[in-house]
Structure 1
């Protein structure tokens, strides 16, 4: 067999490095990828829990008065604008829609039985999301009617979804999306529903975690043409940065006994590590994308966008994992006192590194908050040894 010249070998290697590392000065082209033998490829972004607490609804009301935009007096756009540059550039972006959607004019409810403005779905679409997982411990907060409202709201916004269903036929049909000519399936499962049981006469209403069910769902997705399968899973212990033993055991079983290509986790409301298990990336917990707990702890306002580059070689898909630390800044509750200098006056979601890079007028307080969010998230991301498998931030902190 003829061997390529030394120069040809180095050219292919350089192009492959450019495609995977994103370091080419003008960016790799489709022709570059073909020339490097990488075949088809696409990027996938997945983020943490979308959980609209009452304080965020009030912020959306305040912002609508300022912008004159939104619907029914609510505009969630300004709150989420800070992460749009990341989400919108992914070839496929996946959100986790945890609560139940209310009617557009309400009533709205917070914890424990969420009913949130469906207007958030329009903002998620505008930010760049393509599809959402809907299986969570809150899926059944308002029964079958709540599931229907939620999925109707996502449909109206143009978002695909999986994890709950309005009918047996909808539940049985795998969600398969075409991304740059690649058929990608998404699965969604949750460990339970806060003590509520799926009604016996509607077993298809929401997906409860069961290994055999997940394995069978992957098989159906492959039969429907899926070349890549992504599992969104609601699991683990709330407010624990370390994955539970049950999470780790299930992750290993999924990696070793299925052909699922990527697992992205939710529910903890704080960031948990990523880990590569037998060639499969497991993001144990992406924290909160947008939420406002009654007692902010700092870590509940931090999240991470997982960024995954899929590349096909000889019919096999490889995945390179990166991450983007995010932070939700919240106004201080100081009673009648004047806010401290530099304290935030609005709820806003930011890409921590991008804010440090773009805004030279930040106060020392702001810089410290964004840097803390980035560095704390980075430490958590890597504490199961993922750095040895190449896990890196999508963008580093400025010096």
Structure 2
């Protein structure tokens, strides 16, 4: 049966979000999107904060913002949403120094939430998040094997690697904790070597779907630079099935290469950030990838068939299904930003749908 895997932009649970959550139910941060999250077979997020009650603010270099959430509510909230993977290669995992990063790693591990992109050393930061995405047969599911073939309900094997080009002072090395930092440049030998090492580790699990989650580029930029487009296409050529981009706080266009989607930036999913009246960083989508089984030879392979963009908006430090006006704006904006890539969406209810069938 088809598996539905959700991807979000930045999930920042600190500051005012943390304050609000101390006086409301644990899952209130997911607002009216909670049921949609529960219906997914897996959920991958960029966690834009640390989960800790310890540490002091990073002062070794100038950092204007520091994000930390109380794990007593934040970890249960991630569990309630069904978060399966946290990408940690970003510019906030050392906001409260090493002790808070270590707490974050420990809390996620204890909750059974897979993580990638940060660790005690660069070796750990390069380790992929690997999980089996199970599903249950539902009415209307279609099996694409031949007539008389037995349905294969084995789980889909998902592997996620995570990198960032933000905040090089947070980069892990052989002895120090931090992020899987790279320069977004396909001509850089060290970048190619580091990325290929992570991809090779991910392939050891023989994944059916390989995802690269990238926290790249500056804030409030609506279009990816040529270097990002080149890097994203190179990753697809290296065997990645989906690029999950984030960092700009506003969504960018979607490109398809060889049937594989490149989400250049998924925008924000929940936070307390000031809203730009023109760029609307409070509006984005829940990106849902459908992956279907297909009988080939003696086994079953999986292939992405559809990317569905479900409009959301942030209000009162929580994520909600977008209002009619906000959804209209987001759909029009996504079409405008994706058009230069030759990407055309269909409309299905409030959502935009992109067919990935060859």
Answer yes or no: same fold by TM over 0.5: yes
Structure having greater relative contact order (Cα 8 Å, sep ≥ 6): 2
Q: How many Å apart are 1:242 and its aligned residue?
A: 0.9
Query: Of residues 30, 48, 60 in structure 1, which corresponds to 2:21?
Result: 60
Please tell me whether residue 310 in structure 1 is matched to residue 298 in structure 2.
no
Q: Which residue of 2 aligns with 1:270?
A: 250
| Root-mean-square deviation (Å) | 2.9
Structure 1 unaligned residues grouped into runs of 5+: 1-29, 31-40, 64-68, 70-74, 330-345, 357-366
Q: Aligned partners of 1:190 and 1:249: how far apart in 2? A: 16
Kindly report structure 1 stretches of 4+ aligned residues shifted beyond 6 Å: 106-110
Please tell me whether residue 368 in structure 1 is matched to residue 325 in structure 2.
yes
Query: Of residues 172, 179, 187 in structure 2, which corresponds to 1:206?
Result: 179
Larger Rg: 1
Residue deviations 1:362-393, cap 9 Å, x none?
A: xxxxx534543454345445553221xxx445
Paired residues in the alignment total 313
Q: How many Å apart are 1:178 and its aligned residue?
A: 0.8
Q: Aligned partners of 1:308 and 1:239: how far apart in 2? A: 25
Q: Which residue of 2 aligns with 1:322?
A: 308
Report the TM-score when normalising by structure 2.
0.77
Residue deviations 1:341-377, cap 9 Å, x none?
A: xxxxx4432122xxx5xxxxxxxxxx53454345434
Q: How many Å apart are 1:190 and its aligned residue?
A: 0.8
Please tell me whether residue 120 in structure 1 is matched to residue 103 in structure 2.
no
Secondary structure of the residue aligned to 1:183 is: strand
Q: Say if 1:173 and 1:48 are closer, same or farther in 2 by CA, change over 3 A.
A: closer
Q: Say if 1:267 and 1:221 are closer, same or farther in 2 by CA, change over 3 A.
A: same
Q: How many Å apart are 1:93 and its aligned residue?
A: 0.8
Q: Which residue of 2 aligns with 1:341?
A: none
Q: Which residue of 2 aligns with 1:90?
A: 40
Q: Aligned partners of 1:175 and 1:220: how far apart in 2? A: 10
Query: Of residues 90, 94, 107 in structure 2, which corresponds to 1:153?
Result: 107
Please tell me whether residue 247 in structure 1 is matched to residue 228 in structure 2.
yes
Please tell me whether residue 183 in structure 1 is matched to residue 157 in structure 2.
yes
Q: Which residue of 2 aligns with 1:231?
A: 212
Q: Which residue of 1 aligns with 2:341?
A: 384
Q: How many Å apart are 1:274 and its aligned residue?
A: 0.9
Q: Aligned partners of 2:57 and 2:28: how far apart in 1? A: 20
Q: Aligned partners of 2:289 and 2:105: how far apart in 1? A: 26
Q: Say if 1:248 and 1:207 are closer, same or farther in 2 by CA, change over 3 A.
A: same
Please tell me whether residue 259 in structure 1 is matched to residue 239 in structure 2.
yes
Structure 2 unaligned residues grouped into runs of 5+: 135-154, 183-190, 352-358
Q: Say if 1:252 and 1:370 are closer, same or farther in 2 by CA, change over 3 A.
A: closer
Q: How many Å apart are 1:241 and its aligned residue?
A: 1.3
Residue deviations 1:309-353, cap 9 Å, x none?
A: 112333554322121111012xxxxxxxxxxxxxxxx4432122x
Secondary structure of the residue aligned to 2:22 is: helix
Residue deviations 1:128-147, cap 9 Å, x none?
A: 22111111022232332222
Secondary structure of the residue aligned to 1:198 is: coil
Q: Say if 1:351 and 1:166 are closer, same or farther in 2 by CA, change over 3 A.
A: same
Q: Say if 1:272 and 1:121 are closer, same or farther in 2 by CA, change over 3 A.
A: farther
Report the TM-score when normalising by structure 1.
0.70
Residue deviations 1:259-278, cap 9 Å, x none?
A: 11111101010011111023
Maintained 8 Å contact 2:120/2:172: no
1 or 2, which has the higher helix percentage? 1
1 or 2, which has the higher strand percentage? 2
Q: Say if 1:178 and 1:246 are closer, same or farther in 2 by CA, change over 3 A.
A: same
Q: How many Å apart are 1:225 and its aligned residue?
A: 2.6
Q: Aligned partners of 2:81 and 2:252: how far apart in 1? A: 24
Q: How many Å apart are 1:122 and its aligned residue?
A: 1.8
